[in-house]
């Protein structure tokens, strides 16, 4: 198909600093066949410059400073029909996305791929899903020009956005041991329902982003299968870079206000969202609203993708799981710089962390993982067939996207927590009681108002709640936290991890089980300590759990 086309790139020999630098791309169909071309990330898209040009000044690469887009599946308007013998041209202003700030000799080089080309024969489709794309690489073309010192440099579109928003605070290099809380975002436009969806996705980006940074810390090195899948064979420097990216993203979510534009301004069909490096603003597009709350290419994953651009200066080098996996396998250094690899890593980790385990009075235990749950048969010691299942509609009224912690009270009720809210679940009626969710504060006197990690009820009439590196003892009869709390987990829970539990449950054998990532410990309630030989991996000791 490449032989069907001839391309050229032209520039004026000389420009003045501060004026638009227009280069002209031309593509000619020299075949006898009409062809529809997917124009994404090529000059034919007619948008601000994307990453299809490389610009150098006197041999030094000028960094791209334009828009970064998460794309979904193309729509019919994403293609352009180029008839046999037809030439199509597009002028592009390099100054919109490359900081042309000094005089000198510049070279612009085309580095672009036609992702899909569909010959227009009888019955040919107008578009294809990405798994069926058949494209080709355009020949590399270069044009050289001079820029004379004759004015003030033009700011890029990204620089204009950064000036409008003001400089962001520097990301923290490390997070405190205490549990982080995500700051509420600023929302522009959208319906009330859309705003609620964005707030939930924002909270999930914080929660699952935190799980991602923990997973990298808890399972370091070559043993981290999810890291290997998305970032390639273990390399200490690359592993450290990815860990820093997720630490910085979580720091920003905890310490800076993110703005989301819900108006669709600047969006094109098939886009999820876009942003600019060094900003704290994300524009949400049509594909975002059709995305799932969890899973692959989810709403929260989209935000992780865009925040990796804005906070950690990642690029868009490959789109989709297939291409991202291939990048990790063949070019791991590029995978570490690719936004989709960060998104898919976070989405996979969200499916690995068991949270909020509860033991029902029917001999079953229930474990929650992102937007799904597992039913565990205590007698047979394994997950029942057919699981996991989605939380909605199987748990009427329960949080459908994420459950942080759960605990069964002696009153026939279970309490489930998510962020700053909780619900009361009637076990006999198998549904959430009317009037919920409610805020944790003031209904749980003395308890943290947000971010509960785990909870268990002990035989002594006390409940224990964990958050970050601390715990609280809750008097069930008095319905309040006992005086003197919180206290540090260590040394009051011998053998337990000192921070960041992901779940806890009391079994009927005098033992409690606590989970953190891919590991668990068995806690002897009478001896008040973890049994010898723990922690152990969840898999294979809890058959059927992730």
Q: Which residues are catalytic?
A: 306
State the residue for tokens 């250094």.
333
* C-alpha to C-alpha distance for 507 and 358, rounded to whole angstroms: 9
* C-alpha to C-alpha distance for 410 and 345, rounded to whole angstroms: 39
* C-alpha to C-alpha distance for 136 and 176, rounded to whole angstroms: 48
Residues 107/142, Cβ–Cβ less than 8 Å: yes
Tokens of 209: 């982003």
State the residue for tokens 């070559």.
222
State the residue for tokens 């205590």.
378
Question: N- to C-terminal Cα distance for the chain?
Answer: 45
Tokens of 303: 């935000």
Residues 418/399, Cβ–Cβ less than 8 Å: yes
Query: Residue 285 belongs to what H/E stretch?
Result: none
* C-alpha to C-alpha distance for 483 and 136, rounded to whole angstroms: 69
* C-alpha to C-alpha distance for 514 and 454, rounded to whole angstroms: 8
Closest CA to 339 of 94, 91, 68: 68
Query: Residue 206 belongs to what H/E stretch?
Result: helix 192-218
Query: Residue 464 belongs to what H/E stretch?
Result: strand 462-467
Burial class (CB in 10 A: 0-12, 13-18, 19+), 72: buried
DSSP conformation class of 225:
H
Residues 118/128, Cβ–Cβ less than 8 Å: yes
Please give the backbone phi and psi of residue 455, each rounded to the nearest 5 degrees, phi first: -155, 145
Residues 76/125, Cβ–Cβ less than 8 Å: no
Q: How many CA atoms does the CB half-sphere of 207 hold within 13 Å? A: 30
- CA-to-CA dists, residue 48 to 97, 137, 282, angstroms: 7, 21, 16
From edge to edge, which strands make up the β-sheet containing 22-29?
Answer: 5-11, 22-29, 87-93
∠ CA 419-420-421, nearest 5°, is: 95
Tokens of 413: 């009720």
Contacts of 26 (CB under 8 A, 6+ apart): 7, 8, 9, 10, 87, 88, 89
- CA-to-CA dists, residue 167 to 171, 218, 278, 311, 327, angstroms: 12, 33, 8, 12, 33
Residues 218/210, Cβ–Cβ less than 8 Å: no
Ordered DSSP codes for 115-172: --EEE--TT--S---GGG---EEPPPEEEEEEEES-SPPPPPHHHHHHHHH-PPPPPP
Query: Residue 446 belongs to what H/E stretch?
Result: none
């Amino acid at each position: 198909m490449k032989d069907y086309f001839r391309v050229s790139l032209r520039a004026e020999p000389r420009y003045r600093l501060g004026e638009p630098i227009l280069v002209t791309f031309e593509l000619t169909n020299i075949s006898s066949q009409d062809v529809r071309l997917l124009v994404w990330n090529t000059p034919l898209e007619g948008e601000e410059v994307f990453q299809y040009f490389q610009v150098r000044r006197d041999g030094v690469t000028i960094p791209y400073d334009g828009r970064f887009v998460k794309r979904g599946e193309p729509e019919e308007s994403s293609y352009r029909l180029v008839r046999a013998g037809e030439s199509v041209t597009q002028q592009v202003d390099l100054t919109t996305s490359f900081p042309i700030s000094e005089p000198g000799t510049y070279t612009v080089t085309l580095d672009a791929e036609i992702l899909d080309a569909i010959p227009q024969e009888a019955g040919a489709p107008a578009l294809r899903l990405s798994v069926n794309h058949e494209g080709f690489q355009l020949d590399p073309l270069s044009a050289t020009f001079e820029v004379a010192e004759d004015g003030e440099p033009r700011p890029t579109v990204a620089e204009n956005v950064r000036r409008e928003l003001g400089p962001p605070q520097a990301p923290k290099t490390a997070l405190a041991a205490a549990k982080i809380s995500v700051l509420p975002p600023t929302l522009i436009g959208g319906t009330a329902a859309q705003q609620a969806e964005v707030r939930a996705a924002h909270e999930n980006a914080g929660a699952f982003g935190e799980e991602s940074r923990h997973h990298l810390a808890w399972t370091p090195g070559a043993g981290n299968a999810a890291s290997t899948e998305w970032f390639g064979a273990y390399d200490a420097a690359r592993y450290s870079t990815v860990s820093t990216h997720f630490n910085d993203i979580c720091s920003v979510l905890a310490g800076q206000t993110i703005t989301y534009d819900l108006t669709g301004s600047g969006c094109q069909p098939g886009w999820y969202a876009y942003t600019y490096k060094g900003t704290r603003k994300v524009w949400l597009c049509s594909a975002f609203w059709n995305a799932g709350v969890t899973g692959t290419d989810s709403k929260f994953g989209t935000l992780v993708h865009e925040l990796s651009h804005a906070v950690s200066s990642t690029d868009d080098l490959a789109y989709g799981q297939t291409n991202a996996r291939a990048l990790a396998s063949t070019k791991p250094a590029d995978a570490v710089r690719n936004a989709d690899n960060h998104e898919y890593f976070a989405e996979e980790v969200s499916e690995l962390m068991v949270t909020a385990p509860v033991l029902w009075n029917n001999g079953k235990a229930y474990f929650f993982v992102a937007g799904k749950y597992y039913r565990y048969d205590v007698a047979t010691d394994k997950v029942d067939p057919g699981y996991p299942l989605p939380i909605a509609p199987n748990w009427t009224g329960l949080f459908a996207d994420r459950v942080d912690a759960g605990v069964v009270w002696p009153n026939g009720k279970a309490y489930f927590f998510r962020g700053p809210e909780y619900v009361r679940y009637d076990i006999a009626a198998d549904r959430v009681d009317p009037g919920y969710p409610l805020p944790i504060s003031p209904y749980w006197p003395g308890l943290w108002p947000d971010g509960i990690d785990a909870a268990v009820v002990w035989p002594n009439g006390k409940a224990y709640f964990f958050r970050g590196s601390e715990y609280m003892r809750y008097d069930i009869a008095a319905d309040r936290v006992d005086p003197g709390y919180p206290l540090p987990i260590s040394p009051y829970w011998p053998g337990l991890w000192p921070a960041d539990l992901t779940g806890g449950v009391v079994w009927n054998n005098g033992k409690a089980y606590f989970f953190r990532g891919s590991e668990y410990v068995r806690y002897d309630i009478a001896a008040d300590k973890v049994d010898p030989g723990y922690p152990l991996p969840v898999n294979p000791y809890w058959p059927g759990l992730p």
